Amino acid sequence: MTENIEIGTAIAKPGTIVEGKIIVEKLAGGENISMPVTIINGSKPGPCFWINGGIHGDEPEGILTCSLLKKEINPLNLTGSIVMIPAMNVPAMEAAQRGNPLDTFSYDMNRIYPGREDGYLSERIAYVHKEWMVKFADMEISIHSGGSHSYLAEAMFAAKDEKTQELARAMGEDWKVCLYSNITSKSPMAVMSEIGKPALTVELGGRSSTAPGAFLNVGKKLLKACVNILKHYKMIDGDPHYPSVRYKGYQKALLAPKSGVFLPNPDVKFLNMMKKNDHIATIIDYQGSELCKLLAPEDGMFFGLRALPNVTIGDWCCFYAIIEGEW
Ligand SMILES: [Zn+2]
């Protein structure tokens, strides 16, 4: 028997889409801090696919993906359920900042899971979200991007176990890079991994990919991945597709060695194999003199690059994947 699903203020009967809120705390002005929740409850019993977006407030790609998925899915044709939290960190999203401006102590909500019931503000938000997620979710993806500073191509972080790698592969043909992550990352994915449930941190997009067609394309690629996951787990009808090859390895974030203006090498491409010491970018000063070159630290590929050319020493410049082989 399929049952009602109740999360926060949303109660979804079988075969319905229902929207509501998870209310966390009250602010001084009397308004609640809450996060939106959409439940698509299928007509037949099955697994719960949980989608998180907007844990970082400068990354609205999860909102776009959830809006597209809601239109795509008919709950009468769905086995199991989909729970979408398009924007987990609402005050950060409203401010278009990575973290909640009201909280400087636990600013990065993706580094504080499982949260704390009596902790800093963002820890409390994380705690309430985590309680609902672990109660219902059988598998989870968190949608991220390069945000206001970078563009990130299709890449994901995941644990190495078989169930998690099945979910990673179910993302489909566009997703060839899956980097190691573990339960020490203090993300929603880490909480899920710790209780033996598959979960991914997924990266695509960023502020240099928000022109009219470009932003929608990011959303469509993420939608395609979500739909493929639903097909793989037989939650909707259809034949899933899979990547021809999947690379494994780990991330190395390359930080700016100098302050200046960041000029990517026009001859290099995202997600293409490079050799150690290949030229990724140059940093120049305001009068055009070269200050330094950014080189590949090992054989591998870059999946993210700085979108804002203005750069200060120590800023994120390049998200590099050191590739160790294939899954
Ligand atoms: Zn993020």
The span from the CA of 80 to the CA of 172, in Å, is 20
Residue 110 CA to ligand 1 centre (angstroms):
7
Distances (CA, A) of 251 to 155, 158, 182, 234: 10, 12, 12, 32
Contacts of 327 (CB under 8 A, 6+ apart): 165, 168, 169, 178, 246, 247, 248
Residue 73 CA to ligand 1 centre (angstroms):
26
Residue 238 CA to ligand 1 centre (angstroms):
31
Residue 144 CA to ligand 1 centre (angstroms):
4
Residue 152 CA to ligand 1 centre (angstroms):
10
What is the phi/psi pair of residue 255, to 5°? Answer: -100, 150
The β-bridge relationship of strands 300-306 and 316-326 is antiparallel
Digit-by-digit pLDDT tens for the chain (327 residues) are: 679 999 999 999 999 999 999 999 999 999 999 999 999 999 999 999 999 999 999 999 999 999 999 999 999 999 999 999 999 999 999 999 999 999 999 999 999 999 999 999 999 999 999 999 999 999 999 999 999 999 999 999 999 999 999 999 999 999 999 999 866 789 999 999 999 999 999 999 998 898 889 999 999 999 999 999 999 999 999 999 999 999 999 999 999 999 999 999 999 999 999 999 999 999 999 999 999 999 999 999 999 999 999 999 999 999 999 999 999
The CATH classification number of 249-326 equals 2.40.50.100
Residue 252 CA to ligand 1 centre (angstroms):
16
Model pLDDT, residue 283: 98
Distances (CA, A) of 208 to 53, 57, 98, 211, 314: 19, 16, 16, 8, 20
What is the phi/psi pair of residue 90, to 5°? Answer: -60, -45
The span from the CA of 85 to the CA of 65, in Å, is 11
Residue 173 CA to ligand 1 centre (angstroms):
22
Residue 306 CA to ligand 1 centre (angstroms):
14
The whole-model pTM stands at 0.96
The span from the CA of 170 to the CA of 192, in Å, is 17
Residue 56 CA to ligand 1 centre (angstroms):
5
The span from the CA of 71 to the CA of 113, in Å, is 31
Apex 60 CA angle, 307 and 271, nearest 5: 45
Residue 157 CA to ligand 1 centre (angstroms):
12
Model pLDDT, residue 183: 63
Which class for 30: exposed (0-12), middle (13-18), buried (19 or more C-beta within 10 A)? Answer: exposed
The answer to whether 45 and 70 have CB atoms below 8 angstroms apart is no
Residue 286 CA to ligand 1 centre (angstroms):
30
The answer to whether 230 and 160 have CB atoms below 8 angstroms apart is no
Residue 96 CA to ligand 1 centre (angstroms):
12
Which value, to the nearest 10 degrees, does the dihedral of the CA atoms of residues 302, 60, 188, 102 take? Answer: 120
Residue 146 CA to ligand 1 centre (angstroms):
7
Alpha helices in the chain (DSSP H): 61-72, 90-95, 121-136, 162-170, 188-194, 212-232
Residue 311 CA to ligand 1 centre (angstroms):
19
User: Which residue(s) pair with 318 in the sheet?
Assistant: 254, 305
Residue 92 CA to ligand 1 centre (angstroms):
12
Which residue bears the tokens 């597209």?
A: 68
The CATH classification number of 5-232 equals 3.40.630.10
| Closest C-alpha to 81, from 177, 13, 169, 25 | 13
Residue 237 CA to ligand 1 centre (angstroms):
31
The span from the CA of 77 to the CA of 198, in Å, is 24
Model pLDDT, residue 184: 76
Residue ranges of domains in the chain: 5-232, 249-326
Residue 154 CA to ligand 1 centre (angstroms):
13
The span from the CA of 64 to the CA of 217, in Å, is 10
What is the phi/psi pair of residue 227, to 5°? Answer: -65, -40
Residue 89 CA to ligand 1 centre (angstroms):
11
